[in-house]
């Protein structure tokens, strides 16, 4: 009998169900449904801590390839609080280890992003058999060139930019669009290029407002009626990039809104005289169905993880490197972010065709 646990942790994304389906289908096909016990932990690590699970069958994973979100529910269990007891005094790590052994699990499949992978690494160090799968719309997981959720989020953000284009052009306005991505700029970079943004501001390339204003004024001089500015939620000015973490946090806390887009929009309107609006697609970027690319990659991740489990190999995250499916040891992934390289081809090419990143 193979006893497995599944959990989805952190912010959700479109291809979590597709990934779990990939795991379970592969296990069913290779060890048989009769030799499989599946425990689906509810709401991420919380389910493991409090032993809240569903006993599931392969049938439960049928028909969910296209369904966004997660059938198990999710939650954030911050890594930095892992050794801080829950409000009711429950010690998280010992409780998770207890649940794992109580159910006599052979493997825990953890679908999660950076923080969740750190916790997975900790559990692996504590002797549990863990396989992590790279979930996040942000695409910031170190050790893999792709994460599932990213492609679908780029689609949503691109559609938002497309829609804004028509109204911006009708009204002759500047639009500042906030795009998700936490501390990295992968989604705004890809959606910005795909949606034909004129300015893309990402955390990896600190910007100067004067360059953004110049770009807009040049466009106005050339007769363009509108400008689209795609802004990563973590975008930062050159000036702010010089501040210490503490000083920067203080500055963000002093803004009217934690989002930088309102400050950018106000300054653009004041300095160019052009009517400027803000658009925030927000969590729609994590919602809806996974696109075809994500469905395929999620299925690949699920299949590889299941095959690894059958082979009795644990303690890694499934990854894609140079287009090939591979594994990266959890200890190598934990705690590292994958940033956009400001000198990468896509940034270089985008600049070549006149997209401004506000740095020059």
Q: Which residues of this protein are in contact with ligand F6P, per CB under 6 A?
A: 11, 113, 136-138, 180-182, 233, 286
Whether residue 137 contacts residue 11, with contact meaning beta carbons closer than 8 Å, is answered with yes
Residues paired with 112 in a beta bridge = 134
Angle at 191 between CA 7 and CA 322, to 5 degrees: 65
Q: Which of 282, 206, 298 has the alpha carbon at shortest distance from 8?
A: 298
Give the nearest distance from C-beta 180 to ligand F6P in angstroms.
3
Q: How many angstroms separate the CA atoms of 333 and 298, rounded?
A: 19
| Residue that the structure tokens 């942000």 belong to | 138
Evaluate whether 106 touches 3 at the Cβ level (below 8 Å): yes
Q: How buried is residue 47: exposed, middle or buried, by Cβ count under 10 Å (0-12/13-18/19+)? A: buried
Active-site residue 291, yes or no? no
CB of 181 to ligand F6P, least distance (A): 5
- In 113-237, the DSSP E strands lie at 130-136, 148-149, 174-179, 199-201, 227-232
Q: How far is the CB of 331 from ligand F6P (least distance, A)?
A: 22
C-beta of 153: minimal distance to ligand F6P in Å? 8
Residue 32 vs 78, nearer CB to ligand F6P: 78
Rg (CA), the chain: 22
Name the active-site residue from 12, 43, 138, 140: 138
Q: 70 or 356: whose CB is closer to ligand F6P?
A: 70
The sign of the torsion formed by the CA atoms of 315, 97, 10, 253 equals: negative
Distances (CA, A) of 317 to 67, 144, 200, 345: 23, 9, 31, 27
CB of residue 178 to ligand F6P, shortest distance in Å: 10
| Residue 209 and residue 356 in contact, taking contact as beta carbons nearer than 8 Å | no
**Residue whose pair of structure tokens reads 């009626």 in the numeric block:** 225
Residue 11 or 308 with smaller CB distance to ligand F6P = 11
- CA 293: distance to chain centroid? 15
* Contact (CB, 8 A) for 8 and 72: yes
Residue 196 or 287 with smaller CB distance to ligand F6P: 287
Supply the minimum distance, in Å, between the C-beta of residue 270 and ligand F6P: 28
Active site members: 138
């Amino acid at each position: 009998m193979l006893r497995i646990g599944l959990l989805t942790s952190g912010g959700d994304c479109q291809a979590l169900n597709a990934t779990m389906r990939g795991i379970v289908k592969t296990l069913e096909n290779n060890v048989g449904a009769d030799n499989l016990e599946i425990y689906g932990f509810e709401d991420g690590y919380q389910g493991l801590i409090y032993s809240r699970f569903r006993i599931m069958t392969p049938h439960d994973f049928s028909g969910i390839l296209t369904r966004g979100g997660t059938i198990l529910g999710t939650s954030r269990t911050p890594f930095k609080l892992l050794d801080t007891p829950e409000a009711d005094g429950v010690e998280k790590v010992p409780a998770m280890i207890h649940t794992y052994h109580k159910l006599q699990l052979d493997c825990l499949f953890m679908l999660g992003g950076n923080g969740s992978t750190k916790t997975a690494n900790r559990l692996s160090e504590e002797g549990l058999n863990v396989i992590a799968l790279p979930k996040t719309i942000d695409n910031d997981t170190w050790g893999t060139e792709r994460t599932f959720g990213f492609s679908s989020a780029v689609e949503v953000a691109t559609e938002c930019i497309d829609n804004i284009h028509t109204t911006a052009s009708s009204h002759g306005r500047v639009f500042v669009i906030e795009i998700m991505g936490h501390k990295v700029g992968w989604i705004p970079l890809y959606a910005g290029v795909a949606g034909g943004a004129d300015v893309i501001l990402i955390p990896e390339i600190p910007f100067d407002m004067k360059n953004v204003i110049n770009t807009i004024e040049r466009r106005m001089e050339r007769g363009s009626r509108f400008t689209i500015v795609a802004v990563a939620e973590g975008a930062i000015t050159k000036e702010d990039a010089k501040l210490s973490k503490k000083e920067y946090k203080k500055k963000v806390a002093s803004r009217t809104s934690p989002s930088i887009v309102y400050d950018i929009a106000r300054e653009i309107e004041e300095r160019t005289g052009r009517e400027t609006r803000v658009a925030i697609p927000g969590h729609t970027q994590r919602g809806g169905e996974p696109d075809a690319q994500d469905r395929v990659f999620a299925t690949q991740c699920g299949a590889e993880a299941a095959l690894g489990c059958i082979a009795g190999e644990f303690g890694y995250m499934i990854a894609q490197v140079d287009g090939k499916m591979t594994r990266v040891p959890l200890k190598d992934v934990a705690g590292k972010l994958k940033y956009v390289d400001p000198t990468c081809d896509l940034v270089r090419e985008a600049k070549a065709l006149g997209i401004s990143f506000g740095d020059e």
